[in-house]
Amino acid sequence: MTDRKCVLVTGGSRGIGRATAVAFAARGYRVAVHYATQRDDAETTVHELTGSGHTCLGGDLGDPAVARRVVDEAVAALGRLDVLVNNAAQAPTEQNRHAVAEVGYDEWLAAWRRMIDVNLLGNANVSWAVARHLIEHGRPVSVVNVGSRGAFRGEPEYPAYSASKAALHAFGQSMAIALAPHGISVTSVAPGFVATARQEAKLAGPGGDALRDQSPFGRVGTAEEVAAAIVHLASPEAAWSSGAILDVNGASYLR
């Protein structure tokens, strides 16, 4: 059993997940970096982490059996878990765009099923497995869910995405109440548009200025800024914030 704190970051191969893994490692954590399919990217993340004892593990969290296995493997590899970051998600892409007036019923069903399976149910199943592990060992720990600004303002071209993230926020608040007696805090972040590698072309294109103008700061967020918020919410000092949903969007959407 290690004396160093340990964290499982789902969807940790790129973007916000990678930045979060790097931020925890810089604070002395051992990190389990989960990936869905891109093992090379996850290994790149692990190589970027300071310290030792990190690991990567793969699997499609849309499969309930895999979600439970990923947690078991993380515990086996790290020896303990102190923090779970539910970052894995089926993100909006041109391939899964499903504006109601534009797609057929089969495409509509496929988009909804995939996004709900991963973004909501996958994270819920991982949370169950981690919570049962943490309850058994009786340590005060933290769960941080990565939601989205879209849960509040809507995503008309990706309604399943915004609905899944809104449901993830609500799930987190339910778990905050359920797990508080066990010393487990549960919070969420709701990022706005973030400058990740996946968004480079969009930011460089004709719509880039409009994206930057969404915030009065005149820019979009960074993965490191979201990671900093996650690390804070996972800290013992933030335990009294359990149940909170923190907007990390540069005042681009206020509620």
Catalytic residue selected from 35, 165, 185, 252: 165
Q: What is the average pLDDT across 162-173?
A: 98
Alpha carbon distance 193, 148 (integer Å)? 9
Indicate if 161 belongs to the active site. yes
Indicate if 148 belongs to the active site. yes
Q: Yes or no: say if 90 and 121 are a contact pair by the CB < 8 Å rule.
A: no
Confidence of residue 139 (pLDDT cuts 50, 70, 90): confident
Q: What is the average pLDDT across 93-119?
A: 96
Q: Yes or no: say if 120 and 188 are a contact pair by the CB < 8 Å rule.
A: no
Quote the tokens at residue 163. 């609905």
**Using one digit for the tens of pLDDT, what is the confidence trace for 29-83?**
999 999 999 999 999 999 999 999 999 999 999 999 999 999 999 999 999 999 9
pTM of the model: 0.95
Alpha carbon distance 247, 255 (integer Å)? 9
- Within 10 Å of residue 211's Cβ, how many Cβ atoms? 18
- Within 10 Å of residue 252's Cβ, how many Cβ atoms? 20
Catalytic residue selected from 13, 127, 142, 148: 148
Indicate if 165 belongs to the active site. yes
Give the model's pLDDT for residue 2.
59
Give the model's pLDDT for residue 195.
85
Task: List the beta bridge partners of residue 30.
Answer: 6
Catalytic residue selected from 35, 142, 161, 188: 161
3-state DSSP helix/strand/coil % of the chain, to nearest 5: 50, 15, 35
Assign a CATH topology to domain 6-248. Answer: Rossmann fold (3.40.50)
